Amino acid sequence: QVQLVESGGGLVQPGGSLKLSCAASGFTFSMYAMGWFRQAPGKEREFVSAISWRGGSTDYTDSVKGRFAISRDNARNTVYLQMNGLTPEDTAVYYCAARFRVASTSVEDYPYWGQGTQVTVSS
């Protein structure tokens, strides 16, 4: 049974930082590309970042480049999203997702999803 469990979300002031974690189980984590997506109220789920199965390649949506950093620790079956310089526009539920080997920016390409963790950026 594949499980992805996000943690690390919360309330943070504009300009602040958070580090999200996603703990994986039930599959061979090191063989899967991992992605982070987010969904704000009334909006469609959108791509944020992805990392290749070997960890050597990363991708980011333009609005988070230079502020967010994705990483993975295959020994701990965990993927991370370091979020710096947060703005109210980053407020959303953040989801971790997994797909076999090849990373993608498309929601439809990921078969496995976590339950989400809320990130709220407000003063």
pLDDT of residue 54: 87
Determine contact, residues 99/110, Cβ cutoff 8 Å: yes
| Structure confidence by residue, pLDDT tens digits, 21-75 | 999 999 999 999 999 999 999 999 999 999 999 888 999 999 999 999 999 999 9
pLDDT of residue 96: 98
pLDDT of residue 15: 98
Q: What angle do CA 88, 93, 81 make, to 5 degrees?
A: 85
pLDDT of residue 58: 97
pLDDT of residue 107: 98
Q: What angle do CA 34, 36, 38 make, to 5 degrees?
A: 155
pLDDT higher than 90, residue 94: yes
Exposure of 36 in the CB half-sphere (CA atoms within 13 A)? 33
